[in-house]
Amino acid sequence: MPRFRLHVEYAGTGLAGWQKQADVPSVQQQIEEAVRAFSGEAVTIRGAGRTDAGVHATAQIAHLDLEKDWPTDTIRDALNHHLRPTATAILSAEMVDDDFDARFSATKRAYVYKIVNRRPQPTLQRGRVWQVPRPLDVEAMQAAADSLMGTHDFTTFRSSECQAKSPVKTLDELSVHRTGDLITIHAVARSFLHNQIRSFVGSLKRVGEGVWPVEQMAEALEARDRKACGPVAPPDGLYLMRVDYPDRSFVSWP
């Protein structure tokens, strides 16, 4: 049975996230319904990252098994035909080895969080960024972010609903950049805890506003207590934008 890898792009607004849910539409459900519509097969697809409700992706990777050895361009185009009413698209499809797993074969994942730091509301980017009207000190935010680098127990920045077996993760990058009114926060790791990046961003905002001193980020980390975390940032500004595998990387900037 051939296995195919899909490069998926989607806007998460109004969706329950990647994972299929009982009563709310999800990206996984949309694609599985599109597969059934074009091939007649009921399949279960696996994704590289279980993005939360409202979170977007420019480089989500998924895999599925089909009974027929379809041309990869046919899979891409047929799925996009049935996905056209949604905000989900298949950018590419390719055949892979049977042992490829979109989730477990991934070696790194990269997210970017976008903040519009200005008083006027965003118009063209509404629903795709977090508007923060108070001025943010990017240098202070970066200094605070530096204290989170490396391997730590990230209980403070972990959702109470997180299903990961351990709160210990290794953070390879957490960088803060400003271009005009746009602040981008880049996070790279092999894997992340539930709500970890949005928890980072909400706490970094506190530092940027001057509500928290830079040192409080390290103190929050050491507390290993969810109550020490700042408010969780909304999902609007978060994008899964890169997934690395041993054979290649998939990256697409939002």
pLDDT tens, residue by residue, 93-149: 999 999 999 999 999 999 999 999 999 999 999 999 999 999 999 999 999 999 999
- Domain identity same for 54 and 160: no
Pure H helices in the chain: 27-39, 72-83, 138-146, 196-209, 215-223
Q: What was the pLDDT predicted at 162? A: 82
- Residue 254 Cα distances to 5, 118, 244, angstroms: 21, 20, 17
- 198 SS3 class: helix
- Domain identity same for 120 and 236: yes
Residue 68, Cβ density class (10 Å: 0-12 exposed, 13-18 middle, ≥19 buried): exposed
Is residue 191 within 8 Å of residue 178, measured between CB atoms? no
* CATH assignment of the domain containing 19: 3.30.70.580
Identify whether 73 is a catalytic site residue: no
Q: Dump pLDDT digits (tens) for 40-49.
A: 999 999 999 9
Q: What was the pLDDT predicted at 22? A: 81
- Domain identity same for 205 and 238: yes
Among 52, 77, 181, 244, which one carries the catalytic annotation? 52
Q: Residues 158-172, buried b or exposed e (16+ Cβ, 10 A)?
A: bbeebeeeebebebe
> What separation, in Å, do the N-terminal and C-terminal C-alpha atoms of the chain show?
34
Which range of residues forms the domain containing residue 36?
3-105
- Domain identity same for 97 and 154: no
- Domain identity same for 146 and 55: no
Q: Does residue 89 belong to any structural domain of this protein?
A: yes
Q: What was the pLDDT predicted at 161? A: 81
- Domain identity same for 114 and 94: no
- Domain identity same for 198 and 186: yes
In the structure, what pLDDT confidence band is assigned to residue 29 with cuts at 50, 70 and 90? very high
Residue type, 76: R
pLDDT > 90: what percent of the chain? 94
- Domain identity same for 162 and 234: yes
Whether 164 has a pLDDT exceeding 90, the answer reads no
Q: What was the pLDDT predicted at 23? A: 84
Query: CB-based contacts of 148: which residues, under 8 Å, 6+ apart?
Result: 154, 157, 171, 174, 200, 217, 221
| Tokens 């890169």, located at residue | 242
